[in-house]
């Protein structure tokens, strides 16, 4: 009989589903968490692989619900080897799971990409890399006025029939869709998508406040990269941005890369949104991890220089990694590391309805774990209980 593989992690604290535990030990057996407690509560067998991280915090590995690519690969056209390279890259930056995010393209191109991504999702999991949990459709049902770099000729009016074609091509793996609520037909599509189990994120939108609230009343769960590709805030007409900051039932994404939002805006966001509703994303493109040069975002050729991804004078995604997003967020806000743990792991899982299995430290859960220094710097990642190099 092959003996169980036992691993223990000891750190200054652990951020569990039930709260923070100080002087904490997490015991892992065969890739799953079996117990969390204090050292005097454990009698560890001699064969236990022990890891100690003084002054550090144990927390769940990250979940990125908005990422287009990394390591030189775009989710819409990556080969199986490219998909694996991307997943391995994400794992090394603390991500255990993600939503492969599309960009507006032709219908045929999108259908082919969704089929390819669905096959990726359905592959047996590689325990030592991040896993795609589903698909985020960013476009084509967005506002021309707030399209960002999405190609205008490919934007589509809200269509239940077209959405269903996308959903079937993805074999039911669409979990999130960005939608502009002010466009005629958007609320009908919103209701239909929700009926098929898809969460809706309001974004790439020129919505007035009343139109934004109509989207939330209809069932929208989140907001896409808050502050970017939205109507600018006005004190008499706050628009979607004002509603996102005010509405405490709504989750909201932000990109903390030093380019998309100023430190003041990040602090305002953190002050306005409750700790349980903030979501950190990367919005990363294929250039993440590759330095300066020319890279693809779908069919779009993006120029990266000095850490900024640009197309026609506009930001075109980012080269951010989630571990750096956490560091930027904590540096800008001065908040405790627990706030970043929520925003990068538990909150996105809760928004998707996956928090029973993802994004928290609890007995029985898969041991996907990050170890962070007090400033948020990633010290180590364990996926299924195995430490990544």
Per-residue pLDDT of 294-308, as tens digits, reads 998 988 999 999 999
Q: Which residues pair with 264 in a beta bridge?
A: none
Q: How far apart are CA 9 and CA 282, in angstroms?
A: 28
Cis-peptide into 140, omega within 30 deg: yes
Average pLDDT of the segment spanning 256-281: 98
The runs of H, that is alpha helices, within 133-185 are 160-169
**Residue-wise DSSP of 12-32:** EEEEETTEEEEEEEEEEETTE
Q: How far apart are CA 349 and CA 318, in angstroms?
A: 22
292 as an active site residue: the answer is no
**Per-residue pLDDT at 355 exceeds 90:** no
Q: How far apart are CA 53 and CA 25, in angstroms?
A: 10
Owner of token pair 């904490």 = 24
**Per-residue pLDDT at 73 exceeds 50:** yes
* 32 phi and psi angles, rounded to 5 deg: -125, 150
Residue 341 confidence (pLDDT): 85
Residue 3 confidence (pLDDT): 63
CB atoms within 10 A of CB 321: 25
**H/E segment holding residue 174:** strand 174-179
**Out of 283, 323, 355, 368, which one is annotated catalytic?**
283
Cα-trace Rg, the chain: 20
Residue 292 confidence (pLDDT): 95
Residue 357 confidence (pLDDT): 79
∠ CA 101-108-207 to the nearest 5 degrees?
50
Average pLDDT of the segment spanning 335-363: 93
Q: How far apart are CA 360 and CA 369, in angstroms?
A: 9
**Per-residue pLDDT at 238 exceeds 90:** yes
Q: Band of the pLDDT at 166, cuts 50, 70, 90?
A: very high
Q: Which domains does the chain have, with CATH numbers?
A: 6-59+364-387 (2.30.40.10), 62-352 (3.20.20.140)
Question: The tokens of 119 are what?
Answer: 């096959």
How many residues in the chain?
A: 389
Nearest to 197 by CA among 216, 214, 176: 176
Q: How far apart are CA 46 and CA 29, in angstroms?
A: 14
CB atoms within 10 A of CB 214: 17
SS percent in the chain: helix, strand, coil, step 5:
30, 30, 40
Residue 146 confidence (pLDDT): 98
Backbone CA torsion sign across 287, 293, 296, 300: positive
Cβ-based burial of 165 (10 A; exposed 0-12, middle 13-18, buried ≥19):
middle
Per-residue pLDDT of 136-155, as tens digits, reads 999 999 999 999 999 999 99
Q: Band of the pLDDT at 125, cuts 50, 70, 90?
A: confident
Parallel/antiparallel/unpaired status of strands 278-281 and 174-179: unpaired
**Per-residue pLDDT at 46 exceeds 90:** no
* Contact of 138 with 102, CB cutoff 8 Å: yes
CB atoms within 10 A of CB 192: 17
Confidence (pTM): 0.97
Residue 2 confidence (pLDDT): 57
Q: Which residues pair with 301 in a beta bridge?
A: 296
């Amino acid at each position: 009989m092959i003996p169980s593989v036992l691993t223990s992690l000891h750190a200054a604290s652990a951020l569990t589903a039930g709260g923070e535990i100080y002087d904490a030990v997490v015991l892992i057996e065969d890739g799953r968490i079996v117990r969390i407690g204090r050292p005097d509560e454990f009698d560890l067998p001699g064969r236990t692989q022990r890891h100690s991280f003084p002054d550090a915090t144990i927390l769940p590995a990250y979940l990125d619900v908005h990422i287009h690519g990394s390591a030189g690969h775009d989710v819409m056209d990556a080969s199986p080897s490219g998909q694996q390279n991307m997943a391995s890259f994400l794992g090394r930056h603390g991500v255990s799971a993600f939503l492969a995010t599309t960009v507006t393209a032709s219908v045929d191109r999108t259908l082919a990409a969704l089929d390819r991504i669905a096959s990726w999702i359905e592959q047996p999991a590689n325990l030592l890399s991040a896993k795609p949990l589903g698909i985020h459709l960013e476009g084509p049902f967005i506002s021309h006025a707030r399209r960002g770099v999405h190609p205008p000729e490919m934007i589509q009016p809200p269509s239940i029939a077209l959405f269903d074609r996308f959903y079937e091509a993805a074999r039911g793996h669409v979990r999130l869709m960005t939608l502009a609520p002010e466009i005629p037909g958007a609320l009908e599509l919103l209701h239909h998508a929700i009926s098929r189990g898809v969460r809706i994120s309001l974004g790439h939108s020129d919505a007035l406040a009343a139109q934004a609230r109509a989207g939330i009343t209809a069932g929208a769960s989140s907001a896409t990269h808050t502050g970017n590709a939205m109507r600018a805030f006005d004190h008499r007409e706050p628009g979607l941005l004002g509603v996102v900051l005010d509405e405490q039932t709504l989750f909201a994404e932000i990109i903390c890369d030093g380019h998309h939002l100023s430190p003041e805006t990040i602090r305002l966001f953190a002050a306005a949104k409750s700790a349980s509703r903030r979501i950190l994303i990367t919005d990363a493109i294929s250039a993440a991890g590759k330095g300066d040069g020319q890279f693809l975002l779908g069919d779009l050729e993006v120029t990266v220089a000095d850490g900024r991804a640009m197309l026609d004078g506009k930001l075109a995604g980012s080269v951010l990694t989630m571990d750096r997003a956490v560091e930027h967020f904590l540096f800008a806000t001065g908040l405790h590391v627990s706030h970043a743990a929520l925003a990068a792991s538990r909150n996105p899982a809760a928004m998707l309805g996956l928090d029973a299995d993802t994004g928290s430290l609890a007995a029985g859960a898969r041991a996907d774990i990050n170890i962070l220094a007090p400033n948020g710097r990633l010290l180590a990642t364990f996926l299924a209980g195995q430490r990544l190099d």
